[in-house]
Amino acid sequence: MSREITAREVRELRDKTGAGVLACKKALEEVDGDMEEAISLLRKKGEEIATKRGGRATSSGIVFSYIHAGDQVGVMVEVNCESDFVARNEDFRRFAKDVAMQITAMNPKWVTREDVPAEAVARERDILLEQARAEGKPEHIIEKMVEGRLNKFYEIHCLLDQPFIRDDSVTIQSLLTDLVARSGENVVVRRFCRYQVGEED
């Protein structure tokens, strides 16, 4: 028989994940009170929900602007959702602010891997192939090396692949997936622009 889950444990899990009270209680019951397992379970369920909602239209949302201290860098980011109700939600707005601060700090070029132009991927792949061959690596492992290094390229230049500046154990995609699970709506980072004083176009 599984042990009784306390309100304190539910509250702690809720604080860590932002999931609803009932979802937290159920997750803790499923893993017999193991906090780390419950967090992992909620994240997996969040990914399933995000996948199911991924195709739904996102015609509401906000444009969030952020000017970094010192007035040298500014960002505008458009984050879309399905309803005005979610767009006005504090959780949604906090996510938009986190994304704007991420863009300010890490200067990504694109939102997703799919946004990277094919010619940019081909150029990067050619450079990585040359580097791997110059290192004298055997041909049969070069392709795996190149794929691994391409992932690093995406991690640097694609917003959703980047580790979150406040917690590098999660990516921006993970934050987005969690928000979709909590809000019950599809959420999309549509586009952004970043300005830095003195930067060339």
Which CATH superfamily includes the segment(s) 60-112+158-196? Elongation factor Ts, dimerisation domain (3.30.479.20)
Q: Which tens digit of pLDDT belongs to each residue from 124-172?
A: 999 998 888 888 878 888 888 888 899 999 999 999 999 999 999 999 9
pLDDT of residue 58: 63
pLDDT of residue 42: 75
Residue 170 sits at φ, ψ, to 5 deg, of -125, 155
The share of the chain scoring above pLDDT 90, in percent, equals: 47
Q: Is 7 exposed, middle or buried (0-12, 13-18, 19+ CB in 10 A)?
A: exposed
Average pLDDT rounded to a whole number, residues 112-130: 92
DSSP state of 71: S
| pTM tops 0.85 | no
Category of 180 on φ-ψ map: left (φ > 0), alpha (ψ -120 to 50) or beta: alpha
- Topology (CATH level 3) of domain 7-53: Helicase, Ruva Protein; domain 3 (1.10.8)
DSSP state of 159: G
